[in-house]
Homo-oligomer: A and B are copies of this chain.
Amino acid sequence: MTLPKLQIALDHNDLEGALADVFNVGDVVDIIEVGTILCLQEGSKAISCIRSMYPDKIIVADTKCADAGGTVAKNVSDAGADFMTVICCATIPTMQAAQKEVKELQVELYGDWTYEQAQQWRDIGIKQAIYHQSRDALLSGETWGEKDLTKVKKLIDMGFDVSVTGGLNVDTLKLFEGINVYNFIAGRGISAAENPKQAAQEFKDEIKRIWG
């Protein structure tokens, strides 16, 4: 089993806050995500600033793109992003247009997607999917369960590199034991910790303990 990666989600309202956090944990994590909120607040300079600090890290632009895939993908790629997210209800032409302009596309799974759609994404060559517990759903009391893990496993069986995200902390990682998760995405689980660098390292250590 490959060691799952660790991704920090920078879901800040401003570049200052994001830079302060990424400066703490950027060296520890494998992937840096410029979150949707940050993209919408600061624009493409959020991506380009972080690229300039971390020339060799994988950077994700979490645009959750739903349309104009080619333009959005070209823009974030020009700014320095390696991966970009598209929303699962985007059309296949939108995904295909985006795919041409960025290294890898990640389909972000929200709401009522189907395995039939997922197979269409595989058929056009999309390799990554993000299984997402909505922050708002978590706030309203939903949590990770067997239903979620079954879906994650099925997506992996279909050939997806699956990232999981939503309310993750060091203690919830063991829920995924035995599942070949590609990447764990944490936001506040790291950045809201008293010592974010230590929190990121604890994630890494726990991943190594379980999957190493």
Report which A residues bind B (CB closer than 8 A). Answer: 11, 13, 36-37, 39-46, 63-72, 75-76, 87-91, 93-94, 96-97, 108, 110-113, 117, 132, 134-137, 139-140
* B136/A36 in contact, CB under 8 A: no
* A75/B13 in contact, CB under 8 A: yes
* B87/A63 in contact, CB under 8 A: no
A40 to B65, CA, bound (A): 10
Residues of B within 8 A of A46 (CB): 43
A135/B67 contact (C-beta < 8 A), A89-B111, A89-B112, A91-B110 known: yes
A13 to B88, CA, bound (A): 24
Q: Tell me how far the C-beta of A102 lies from the nearest C-beta in chain B, rounded to whole angstroms.
A: 13
A93 to B11, CA, bound (A): 19
Residues of B within 8 A of A41 (CB): 43-44, 75
* B67/A136 in contact, CB under 8 A: yes
Other contacts beyond A39-B40, A67-B136, A87-B89: 19, CB < 8 A? A36-B66, A36-B68, A39-B43, A40-B44, A40-B76, A41-B44, A41-B75, A43-B43, A64-B64, A64-B66, A67-B134, A87-B110, A89-B111, A91-B134, A93-B134, A93-B137, A93-B139, A93-B140, A96-B136
* A71/B37 in contact, CB under 8 A: yes
Residues of B within 8 A of A89 (CB): 87-89, 110-113
Q: Tell me how far the C-beta of A66 lies from the nearest C-beta in chain B, rounded to whole angstroms.
A: 5
